[in-house]
């Protein structure tokens, strides 16, 4: 007899309010995670509490305010739509699978999601972190948190993990179609910048496969779009601290491209399954200002896959395959 199954979509997390207090409550556990910042706690914690949180929280809160929605932060609002859309697709395929949304940091938590599924008699779980590329800074904390949630469970559910999907055909096709739709509406730029969140170079040297997976995704997307080598670039954004991070840096690339003849630039961030502060503010707004100030003429951020039908089809497919109930999904 098959156990009752359930699906948990997992994203990083978000503040509960666009206020310094709300941001601080989110950033504290996030930046305290040794997977994210692996400095010695005796050195890092005082710096975090006395310098970084007091300075960073008000600034981040100000950035959140213009993009906040009636349903909360963009990440949460889009996540809820993804949850509902995947549930609907599964039902259309005659798969009655409970679907929950959870965050590694903040609410709704993995503990809350598990409790909801446990009350429905679920004994077999698919964890689907919304990170196409694996990183020790994103995927690994999901498993760490899940292990803490399971610590006192007497009947630990069977677990199926979607570790990454950086080259899944449906993922690459959805990204390519997102770009083509943008080109149809706005025209094609001189260059497509494919930007991913960065990590310290040291993490990669210690075995994190993230940069190789980002490169593979970028190569596959460029190939799917038929782009020549001079028509696209790969870069890494959001570096933090003084140690070297993956290069080339997105912020520096944006300042350099106009001098190399790129007047019209399109930017996509394939590592984000849902738009959030980092894409909507750092890339769409700050990035645009930097590129135009350096002499660029036109700058377009291409939104994340969010709740696009092809994306929901892909996520439903990944979950059903992981649980051994794979069926084709197509809008």
Residue ranges for the binding site for Fe(2+)? 197, 278
Q: Under DSSP, is residue 128 helix (H, G, I), strand (E, B) or coil?
A: strand
Rounded Cα distance between 300 and 185, Å, is 11
Task: Annotate 159-174 with DSSP letters as a single string.
Answer: EEE----TT-HHHHHH
Annotated binding site, which residues?
Answer: 197, 278
Greatest C-alpha distance within the chain: 65
Is residue 243 within 8 A of residue 224, CB to CB? The reply is no
- Radius of gyration (Cα) for the chain, nearest Å? 20
Please report which residue ranges of the chain form alpha helices under DSSP H: 20-32, 41-47, 53-64, 74-92, 110-119, 139-150, 169-186, 201-205, 210-225, 250-256, 277, 288-293, 309-322
At 99, list the tokens: 């679907």
CA distance 122 to 125: 7
Report how far apart, in Å, the C-alpha atoms of 177 and of each of 81, 225, 244, 292, 302 are: 20, 9, 34, 26, 11
Cα separations (Å) of 26 from 5, 35, 42, 52, 151? Answer: 30, 16, 21, 13, 23
Neighbours of 56 (CB within 10 A): 17
Rounded to the nearest 10 degrees, the angle between the axes of helix 110-119 and helix 139-150 is 50
Burial class, 55, CB count within 10 angstroms (exposed 0-12 / middle 13-18 / buried 19+): exposed
SS3 101: strand
Order of strands across the sheet with 124-129? 99-105, 5-13, 124-129, 158-161
């Amino acid at each position: 007899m098959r156990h009752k199954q359930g699906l948990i979509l997992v994203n990083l997390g978000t503040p509960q309010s666009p206020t310094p207090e709300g941001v601080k409550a989110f950033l504290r556990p996030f930046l305290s995670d040794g997977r994210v910042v692996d400095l010695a706690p005796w050195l890092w914690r005082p710096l975090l509490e006395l310098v970084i949180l007091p300075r960073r929280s008000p600034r981040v809160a100000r950035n959140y305010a213009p993009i906040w929605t009636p349903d909360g932060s963009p990440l949460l609002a889009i996540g809820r739509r993804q949850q509902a859309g995947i549930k609907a697709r599964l039902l259309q395929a005659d798969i009655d699978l409970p679907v929950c949304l959870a965050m590694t940091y903040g609410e709704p938590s993995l503990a809350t999601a598990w409790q909801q599924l446990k009350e429905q008699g679920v004994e077999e779980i698919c964890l689907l972190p919304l990170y196409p590329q694996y990183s020790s800074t994103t995927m690994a904390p999901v498993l760490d948190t899940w292990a803490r949630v399971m610590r006192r469970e007497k009947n630990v559910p069977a677990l199926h993990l979607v570790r990454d999907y950086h080259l899944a055909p449906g993922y690459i096709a959805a990204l390519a179609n997102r770009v083509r739709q943008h080109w149809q509406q706005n025209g094609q730029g001189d260059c497509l910048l494919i930007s991913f969140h960065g990590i310290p170079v040291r993490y990669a040297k210690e075995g994190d496969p993230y940069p190789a997976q980002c490169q593979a995704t970028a190569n596959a997307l460029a190939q799917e779009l038929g782009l020549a080598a001079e028509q696209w670039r790969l870069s890494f954004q959001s570096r933090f601290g003084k140690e070297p991070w993956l290069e080339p840096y997105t912020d520096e690339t944006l300042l350099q491209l106009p001098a190399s003849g790129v007047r019209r630039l399109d930017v996509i961030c394939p590592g984000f399954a849902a738009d959030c502060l980092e894409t909507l503010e750092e890339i769409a707004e700050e990035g645009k200002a930097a590129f135009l100030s350096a002499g660029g003429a036109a700058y377009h951020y291409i939104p994340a896959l969010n709740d696009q039908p092809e994306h929901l089809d892909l996520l439903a497919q990944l979950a059903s395959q992981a649980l051994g109930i794979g069926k084709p999904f197509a809008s």
